[in-house]
Copies of this chain bind each other. A is one copy, B any other.
Amino acid sequence: MNEHPKSGQPVEIEGVVAQGKLQRLLDVLPEDLRSEMMPLWQSIRFSPGDVLIEDGEVADRIGFVTDGFLAMSKTLQDRHRHIIGLITPSDMFGRAFNGPSGYRIEALSDGAVLTCDRQKFEAIIARSHEAERLFLLSILDELDAAREWVMVLGSSKVVERLASLLIILSRHKYRTLEGTAHAPIQLNLHIHIKRVDIAHLLGTSPESLSRAFHQLERTGAIRIVTPYDVELANLERLIEISGNSLEMRDE
């Protein structure tokens, strides 16, 4: 274990490297708080279907995704399932500073999280003004993401929503895309999420989703290598189909 991780130096926990938001958070913590927090972290692997936090439960842990996809989901009385949002690597989950979870946190793919006792996490963050500010900013990012998602779901056609999703996922993967949108690059997305789950995320059925995928392929926007491996053959066209609702902004 690293004794004195200086700012910018990768922090490693149980063989897993903390990235993105967690890394930045740790960078900002004063030395004493950081060394207090470090031993609290624990790496946990998950597989599709695992439930990390149940709907309505008061979570006793928070966590950061280091690999794979989690989802916030909700199953209604009529057995209808909605996926409210994806939680992708670097994102946090677990409602720090807040009440019970309004939805289930479940795994959509294989992956791993770094988790920490919620109350201890909160207590340490609250002792650093800088860390609390950083935390606030990350919530504001989440808010933006949620609102962007509202935009996406606002479009009535499934192809549009799917195109938007693919763009968003590609943005997550390659955070340095700005300006290159018009270059004839080819991006590969390996998304190990089942069609049903993507369908529930987009508010549609697996059948319609399948047709949308193949429609995108017919128009040349993407190439379906395997159901989990899509090549963004023509990003410009994909953006056009998505309705131009998304900026290719960086984080």
Q: In the complex, how many angstroms separate the beta carbon of A22 from the nearest chain B beta carbon? A: 18
Q: A140-B97, A244-B77 are in contact. Are A150 and B151 (CB under 8 A)?
A: no
Kindly state the separation between the CA atoms of A18 and B97 in the bound complex, as whole angstroms.
26
- Chain B residue nearest to A72 in the complex (CB): B147
* B78 touching A243, Cβ below 8 Å: yes
Q: A76-B243, A78-B243 are in contact. Are A102 and B144 (CB under 8 A)?
A: yes
Among the 9-residue stretches A79-87, A177-185, A213-221, the one with 4 or more Cβ atoms under 8 Å from chain B is A79-87
- Chain B residue nearest to A135 in the complex (CB): B136
- A225 in contact (CB, < 8 A): no
* Residues of chain B contacted by A74 (CB below 8 angstroms): 151, 245
* A82 touching B245, Cβ below 8 Å: yes
Among the 9-residue stretches A36-44, A152-160, A187-195, the one with 4 or more Cβ atoms under 8 Å from chain B is A152-160
- Chain B residue nearest to A150 in the complex (CB): B84
Interface string of A121-159 (1 = CB under 8 A from B): 000001001001101110110111011111101111000
* Residues of chain B contacted by A142 (CB below 8 angstroms): 143
- A48 in contact (CB, < 8 A): no
Q: A147-B146, A203-B155 are in contact. Are A137 and B98 (CB under 8 A)?
A: yes
- A204 in contact (CB, < 8 A): yes
* A151 touching B84, Cβ below 8 Å: yes
Kindly state the separation between the CA atoms of A82 and B137 in the bound complex, as whole angstroms.
25
* A136 touching B147, Cβ below 8 Å: no
Q: Give A contacts to B, CB under 8 Å.
A: 72, 74, 76-78, 80, 82, 84-85, 97-98, 102-103, 126, 129, 132-133, 135-137, 139-140, 142-144, 146-151, 153-156, 200, 203-204, 243-245
Q: A77-B244, A84-B147 are in contact. List 18 more A-B contacts (CB 8 A).
A: A74-B245, A76-B245, A84-B150, A85-B150, A97-B136, A97-B140, A98-B140, A102-B144, A132-B132, A132-B133, A135-B136, A136-B136, A139-B140, A149-B150, A150-B150, A154-B200, A156-B203, A156-B204
